[in-house]
Structure 1
Amino acid sequence: MYRKFQRVGRFDRAVESAVGALPASRVDQGLLSLTTSANYSGLWLGIAALLATRKGQTRRAAMRGAVAVGGASLVVNAGMKTLIARRRPAAEVLPVYRRLVPAPVSSSFPSGHAACAAAFATAVALESPRTAAVVAPLAATVAYSRIHTGVHWSSDVFVGAAVGSVVALATQRWWPVRESDEALARPVREAPAMPKGKGLVVVVNPVSGDPNYDPTGDIATALPEAVLLRTRPDIDAADQLEQALAELGPAVEAVGVAGGDGTVAAVAAVALRHKLPLAVIPTGTLNHFARDLGVYDLIEVVDATGIGEAVAVDVASVELEDETGSSTRYLLNTASIGTYPDMVRMREKWQHRWGKWPAFAAALVVTLRRAESIQIQIDGRWQRVWFLFIGNGPYHPHGAVPAFRDRLDSGLLDVRWLRADVRWSRTRAFMALALSAIGHSTVYGERQLPELLVDLPSPEALATDGEVVGKASRLHFRVAGQIPVYRRDESNPLWVDRVRPHHRRAPWLRDWFQSLTDRWSSTSSRP
């Protein structure tokens, strides 16, 4: 073992001598500036902020990259450096103009800069390989800059980079990588084509999503022959759409919606009742359904409705019963009983004063502290649980926190619960989540069923698609049916020729690619 360390030391000194013998150039000052910009991961967090401005793969890459950088920094700086003491290379080997001043004083092994650089590049590659093609060379340059400026041995950099990559790969245990930007679903060939939106009635909720953006104008420009209905506070969106369908009659070939998941679910229920296709324009805050569907912008809706491309999507329903009667609600994403509805109520109460995201964070903290278990009966067996989750379709990953769906037409409900009748259940659940082993814990349950009957000893609040819809003592969940939902078929040669698949999720990349194509065409046409 000692001889192996000797060989590593000889290799490090040989690399240091070779780097020290390099002639002076402008690269020296550039590497000094670059390595300084990566202090405290400032470079990577800045790039992450830039990537996060774009939806889809680049935003997910930014989020995973930031998490990986934080994890790598914690492992290296708070862990390995405190356990392994190693002196830094001697500054005298390098010329003065190349030295980093002031020099770091912490342990040389391993390199924190290399760890964070590799962590960020690897995390970005997991979500967006094409973005990583730009980030990876920069990360490698930052790692080399630690050797070039004389503050790390080469083995420090290699080990740091390996640790950072492992940390980034490990994030998949808690946060699975989505292999596709759209869930699978059966194509529907008979969906009507509606060029310019002719025959389409679109419900627009202007208060969904960004409060400073009203999508009505953009939708009217993109779909000039569509009928637009702006939601009003004095009437339910579904009732407003029903009135419009009664007035327009057979002229309506499909309905559309621009808003959050709650508005989308309400319009989907109308589409199911009238057996009409649905077009979804993502203008809400999170757009869970649109993201699972694989529709990220208005352009895709225009393309799909114009040519008549759609897929079959399940719509689930829940019948709420209490002593006063029953009612039915529809959902496209999820429903829940327990702590989550309490959190939703708090968020709605506080968001007008603090904003949606601060109110959500505050409500989450308060709810976890005040959480009380509820008693439910599933398939004739009573259990005490902290919450019950019902997904419209199987969510991925199994045996973990549900993140996304990989299929939209399975005809099944995804049922998950966290038991409260086990000693130290919350502590055990927290530890299982931290170790990514919740699927193997006795406090966790999961089943996939076509329908589910839930009895409660007293009325409990129910939330569907992020909104509290009422209380009930008996709930009957089932898959109510399927509707065609417009989605562009990327295998269609029309879209393959017009927009390459890897650009479809980021409009700025698509525009950039088109500008390069136009520039190349104009250049190649010159004599």
Structure 2
Amino acid sequence: MKSLSTAANHSMLWFTIAGVLAARKGATRKAALRGVVAIGGASGMANALLKPLLPRRRPAAAELPAHQTLPNPPTSSSFPSGHAASAAAFATAVAVESPRLGLALAPLAGAVAYSRVHVGVHWSSDVVAGAAVGSAIALATRRWWPVRSSDEARARPVDTVPPLPEGTGLVLMANPFAGDPGIDLAEEIETALPAALVLRVQDGIDIDDQLEKAIAGRDGRVRAVGAAGGDGTAAAAAAVANRHDLPLVLVPGGTLNHFARDVGVYDLQEAVDATQAGEAVAVDLGLVEAHPGKDPEPQSDEVIRTRYFLNTASIGSYPELVRLRERWQPRWGKWPAFAAALITVLRRSERVEVKIVDEWHLVWFLFVGNGTYHPRGMVPAWRPTLDSGLLDIRWLRAEVRFSRTRAFLALVLGALGHSRVYGQQEVDHLDVELRVPAMLATDGEVVEEAGRYTFRVAERPIPVYRRDEQNWSGRDRPYMR
């Protein structure tokens, strides 16, 4: 008990465990980061606020045997226990992200809390109060760092997609420049789907042109279009599939694979399973039309280019924000990376004057999501559904005094949705006019500059192959990597 209590001094025990958990990507890394954040909040609440506010004499440790007491007992207020607060905060925060890990850590956290009573530096009530404070702080992190309730978004099944045995009738574009440079997904796909035509992205040639040429050369024998790469590759393939009224096959091969994760396709094996079974879901496609002029005159209705987007489109500083967030997200997690990117971008970005829903606004950025993102009034993190038929419009006002400071404070306090600097609407289409032509980014990539943009949802959702897990049986898996 003495060794355990000492090991938890200054939360070093928990920081060590967090370092081990953070070595692995995914839920464990997010759990470690949330745990460290919770420790910071719990330690500050217990030691900096409650101890000075509620002073209490510690137990008379001299009455305990010498082998049971600490050589240098603390002299600060006894109430509440900072060790118990940090232990409960870390274990609870980890459980929020990974219930199994949290359950495994709970006995250790309980032992650390009890050790403070055992060595005679806290009363039992100090430990109970500290644990309550730590758990409350950990649970409160969900207010501004929400936890996704399910791994994949809801979408209605599509019954008309054809099965593609061994990839028959599939034309798939593989992007060797996406994701880890040492992995060639094209070779794995050719092994898993030997009947498919697998193309490789060529530098300097549009994905759209390569796919169109391949489809034309197959004399109507193409039954589906596929993409292996990141969201940019998937968006280009989705545009071609939509034009030809074909379903889309997704093989995640990028760095973050936002769209594939929302759909619920996590690796090549799941794509193989779905194509063999002929199962798919309906997914909305966002599209944006760039107009040559900024005035809403008839001649300005001419469209320069129509672009499809799977996740988001944006005007202003949001593209830079996304770029920084994606660079930092693998190390820090999505929300902390977003907060750091937001601070960086708002400090050096320029304001944009835009007309949104017949009103002029001076904004830092305009965000357009393909579908309604969750949570409302906060950082857009994920989509609960893929076929809502709506666009999620959010903007950060720049004409409000101290708007950047207010936005940051509201974000930290989890009250961005109640701030004057924040605006949000859900619409089926949106016309945006700009005083000065500005850059447009789709799915995080800068693609266009114009004075007017029209955003809407494509008339037809696109079928995307996704296996219905309720129908799956491990016995029918034809390919195991």
The normalised TM-score by structure 1 is 0.79
1:28 match: none
Which has the larger share of helix?
1
State the secondary structure of the residue aligned to 1:76: helix
| Alpha-carbon displacement from aligned partner over 1:3-61 (angstroms, at most 9, x marks no partner) | xxxxxxxxxxxxxxxxxxxxxxxxxxxx4444444333333344444444555544443
Question: Structure 1 residue aligned with 2:453, among 475, 484, 488?
Answer: 475
| Alpha-carbon displacement from aligned partner over 1:292-345 (angstroms, at most 9, x marks no partner) | 222223332222222122111001100112259611111011111112235568
1:145 match: 115
Q: Does 1:380 align with 2:380?
A: no
Aligned partners of 1:90, 1:273: CA distance in 2, in Å?
79
2:470 match: 491
2:318 match: 340
Aligned partners of 2:386, 2:112: CA distance in 1, in Å?
43
Q: Does 1:181 align with 2:151?
A: yes
- List aligned pairs for 1:317-396, cutoff 5 A: 317-323=287-293, 326-343=304-321, 366-396=344-374
Aligned partners of 1:83, 1:316: CA distance in 2, in Å?
54
- List aligned pairs for 1:116-515, cutoff 5 A: 116-323=86-293, 326-343=304-321, 366-480=344-458, 481-492=460-471, 494=473
Aligned partners of 1:129, 1:346: CA distance in 2, in Å?
30
Give 1:223's aligned amino acid.
Answer: L
Aligned partners of 1:221, 1:50: CA distance in 2, in Å?
36
1:410 CA displacement: 0.7
State the secondary structure of the residue aligned to 1:132: helix
1:164 CA displacement: 0.8
Q: Does the aligned pair in 2 maintain the 1:341–1:461 contact within 8 Å?
A: no
Q: Does the aligned pair in 1 maintain the 2:343–2:408 contact within 8 Å?
A: no
| Alpha-carbon displacement from aligned partner over 1:439-495 (angstroms, at most 9, x marks no partner) | 222322211111111111221011111111121100010111311112221222526
Q: Does 1:92 align with 2:70?
A: no
1:308 and 1:371, CA in 2 relative to 1: closer, same or farther beyond 3 A?
same
* Runs of at least 5 residues in structure 1 that lack an aligned partner in the other structure: 1-30, 352-356, 500-510, 512-527
1:139 CA displacement: 2.0
The normalised TM-score by structure 2 is 0.86
1:484 and 1:93, CA in 2 relative to 1: closer, same or farther beyond 3 A?
farther
1:300 and 1:60, CA in 2 relative to 1: closer, same or farther beyond 3 A?
farther
State the secondary structure of the residue aligned to 2:150: coil
1:195 CA displacement: 3.6
Aligned partners of 1:123, 1:360: CA distance in 2, in Å?
19
State the secondary structure of the residue aligned to 2:366: strand
State the secondary structure of the residue aligned to 1:176: coil
Give 1:265's aligned amino acid.
Answer: A
State the secondary structure of the residue aligned to 1:41: helix
State the secondary structure of the residue aligned to 1:250: coil
Q: Does the aligned pair in 1 maintain the 2:178–2:255 contact within 8 Å?
A: yes
State the secondary structure of the residue aligned to 1:469: strand
Q: Does the aligned pair in 1 maintain the 2:81–2:126 contact within 8 Å?
A: yes
1:429 and 1:195, CA in 2 relative to 1: closer, same or farther beyond 3 A?
same
Q: Does the aligned pair in 1 maintain the 2:374–2:383 contact within 8 Å?
A: yes
Aligned partners of 1:134, 1:186: CA distance in 2, in Å?
37
State the secondary structure of the residue aligned to 1:396: coil
Aligned partners of 1:494, 1:458: CA distance in 2, in Å?
56
Q: Does 1:39 align with 2:9?
A: yes
1:347 CA displacement: 9.4
Q: Does the aligned pair in 1 maintain the 2:318–2:367 contact within 8 Å?
A: no
1:258 and 1:185, CA in 2 relative to 1: closer, same or farther beyond 3 A?
same
Q: Does the aligned pair in 2 maintain the 1:344–1:467 contact within 8 Å?
A: no
Q: Does the aligned pair in 1 maintain the 2:170–2:224 contact within 8 Å?
A: yes
Deviates more, 1:436-445 or 1:451-460: 436-445
Superposition RMSD on alpha carbons, in Å?
3.1
Aligned partners of 2:81, 2:122: CA distance in 1, in Å?
7
| Alpha-carbon displacement from aligned partner over 1:136-177 (angstroms, at most 9, x marks no partner) | 223222222332333332222111110011101111211222
Aligned partners of 1:416, 1:223: CA distance in 2, in Å?
41
Q: Does the aligned pair in 1 maintain the 2:314–2:366 contact within 8 Å?
A: yes
1:414 CA displacement: 0.6
2:331 match: none
